[in-house]
Amino acid sequence: MTTVREVFFDVCRDAGLTTWFGNPGSTELRMLRDWPDGFEYVLALQEASAVGIAAGHAIATGGPALVSLHSAGGVGHALGAIFNAHRDRVPLVVVAGQQTRAMLPTRPFLGADEPATFPRPYVKWSRQPERAADVPAALAEALRVAMTPPRGPVFLSVPEDDWDRPAGPVPRRFVHTAFTTSPGALHEVAEALNTARAPAVVAGPGIDEDGAWDQAVALAETVRAAVWAAPMPSRAAFPEDHPLFQGYLPPVRSSVASLLAPHDVVLVIGAPVFTYHVHSEGPIVADGTRLFHLDCDPAAAAWAAAGTSILTTVRAGLTALLDLVEPSSRPAPPARSRPPAAPLTDPLTASAVLALLHPMESVLVEEAPSHKDTVHEQVPITRPLGYVTTGSGALGWGLPVAVGRALTGERVICVVGDGSSLYSIQALWTAAQRRAPLTVIVLNNRGYEAVASLGRRIGITSLPGVALPELDLTSLAHGFGVPAARVTSAAALPAALKRALDGPYLLDVHVTTSGGSLY
């Protein structure tokens, strides 16, 4: 007899899902017994870290990753990270254990009520199959949904006695997911770009997701468009040392409209129109600006509040558009001037610390909200897959994502705030066990400075619950098996940073508070 478990592993093997991430419990025991050759289980110490590490691995490989969670409690712990994966369009297959089917009517210990409903709406697909025999086919369907644009997490709940039930083989199937729109729609965009006085491109993370950096650069150069990064992107999408690159749009409606006002045609690629964090009134774009939007997400196209949205996967759409646009002789927009780094003096500033990372030869993973603008000013990203952050704002994503990226073998530098670091600090243990090439730089301003700064923006000058004095992050790192050092002076920083680049290593760098307002 062929069991559900055997067929399930066959489906995983065919899909290349041979590295699993998770934090196991009793409802996963039958799934994990007699672990097969050729499969690897990457243990994390908490479920949100498991999801984040799996996400970092998926981003690096461009394929799906499987993460194993433990019933309702494990899924609950992981939901913040699943939310991030959903907003950042990361293809994860989340498999959660469930109690034995015969026990479910009695609401047993560790049983999940309505398991398929629990993670919604932050998964694309969610199911607990009606029959044990349907579990492997459900996995195959989940994989196809996760990898269909817009990509994202899916959820499969499996009662723990299903694994030993009989099941038939699942036929292998392939789905080609690239698509583009009608030629007429792209002709409209091309005509607008060809006749524009001063076009602009807003480059979103979908460009990086779909491997379309070359196409985005070619389009901007052909039509001589100014290029802005979309507000709050999860990835970089255009070389930030390119003379056409103008910087990052802030997540404020009035500011976006003002910065884009000089442009008569704006093309948003692979990003929503637009992501905001601070409320302000006014139009989406200035009067007289024609707005076009290329992306694969029908939901984003539906709620976009202005312009013309065109559904297409990014690389296919840009490739077709490049055949329609004409080389322009209009003057290129002026190159932006990058702010100089602050001097490396005491007291240390985030600007001075980050300037030492330029040029960035490693992957940069960032979760330092109060220093995000400084990161973009001092550490330009110049290559695909070179930058990851959280596009949703739910903290605790950066550190485990950095671990997952590093597990693929590429050197990763994770720049994280002291507050952010604590949401998933246990991910350091996995980095230590796997000897991941990871350097964690904590910009420690002894508080939730992003919260305090946003408070000051709206006139709130005093807040409870934003101070974080006397955190001993180096002791925490040592406890998880990661070497660490604290830096409080400019003189000590260069040598400490050199040591930290032989990671895994955590560097706790004490910096001044920004003192300014975000955005």
pTM: 0.96
Any domain includes 94: yes
Domain final residue pick, 116, 137, 164? 164
Q: What pLDDT score was predicted for residue 453? A: 72
56: in domain: yes
Per residue in 294-334, pLDDT (tens digit) is 999 999 999 998 999 999 999 999 999 999 999 999 999 99
Q: Looking at 132-212, list the stretches that DSSP marks H as alpha helix, in order from N- to C-terminal side.
A: 135-147, 183-195, 206-209
pLDDT 10s digits, 264-280: 999 999 999 999 998 88
Mean pLDDT of 501-514: 91
**Closest residue by Cα to residue 435 from 481, 397, 494, 496:** 481
* Catalytic sites, residue numbers: 25-26, 28, 47, 70, 277, 393
User: Average pLDDT of 504-516?
Assistant: 85
- On whether both 189 and 139 belong to a single domain, the answer is no
Tell me, yes or no, whether 391 and 277 share the same domain: no
Q: What percent of the chain has pLDDT over 70?
A: 98
The enclosing H or E element of 365 equals strand 363-367
Instruction: Please check whether residues 45 and 152 belong to one and the same domain.
Output: yes
- The reply to whether 238 falls in a domain is yes
From residue 232, how far is each of 115, 119, 121, 367, 519 by CA, in Å? 32, 24, 21, 12, 11
Min mean pLDDT across 45-54, 98-107, 481-490 is at 98-107
Q: Which helix or strand (DSSP H or E) is residue 203 part of? A: strand 199-203
Within a domain: 37 = yes
Q: For residue 176, is it within any domain?
A: no
Instruction: Report the pLDDT averaged over residues 111-138.
Output: 96
Q: Which of 337-351, 373-387, 482-496 has the lowest mean pLDDT?
A: 337-351
Statement to judge: residues 191 and 160 lie in one domain: no
Helices (H), 148-212: 183-195, 206-209
Residue 267 belongs to domain with CATH number: 3.40.50.1220
Shared-domain flag, residues 125 and 272: no
Q: Is residue 127 part of a domain?
A: yes
Residues 158 and 190 in one domain: no
Question: Residue 27 maps to which CATH number?
Answer: 3.40.50.970
pLDDT in tens, 51-74: 999 999 999 999 999 999 999 999
pLDDT at 464 over 90: no
Flag whether pLDDT at 516 surpasses 90: no
For residues 3 and 340, the model is more confident at 3
Same domain, 355 and 456: yes
pLDDT value of residue 279: 85
Q: What are phi and psi of 250, to 5 degrees?
A: -80, 155
Identify the pLDDT of residue 461.
80
224 in the same domain as 291: yes
Given this model, what pLDDT does residue 454 score?
66
Alpha-carbon torsion 141, 144, 148, 151, what sign? positive
Task: Give residue 455's pLDDT.
Answer: 67
Mean pLDDT of the 74-101 span:
97
CA distance 417 to 474: 14
- Asked if residue 191 belongs to a domain, the reply is yes
245 and 276 housed in the same domain: yes
Number of domains in the chain: 3
Does one domain contain both 360 and 391? Answer: yes
| Residue 224 shares a structural domain with residue 146 | no
Domain assignment present for residue 124? The answer is yes
Domain interval for residue 220 = 183-322
Residues 393 and 484 in one domain: yes
Where helices occur in 291-426 by DSSP H, the ranges are 298-303, 314-322, 350-355, 372-378, 398-406, 418-421
| Residue where one domain finishes, among candidates 280, 305, 322 | 322
Q: Mean pLDDT for the chain? A: 94
Predicted local confidence at residue 479, as pLDDT: 98
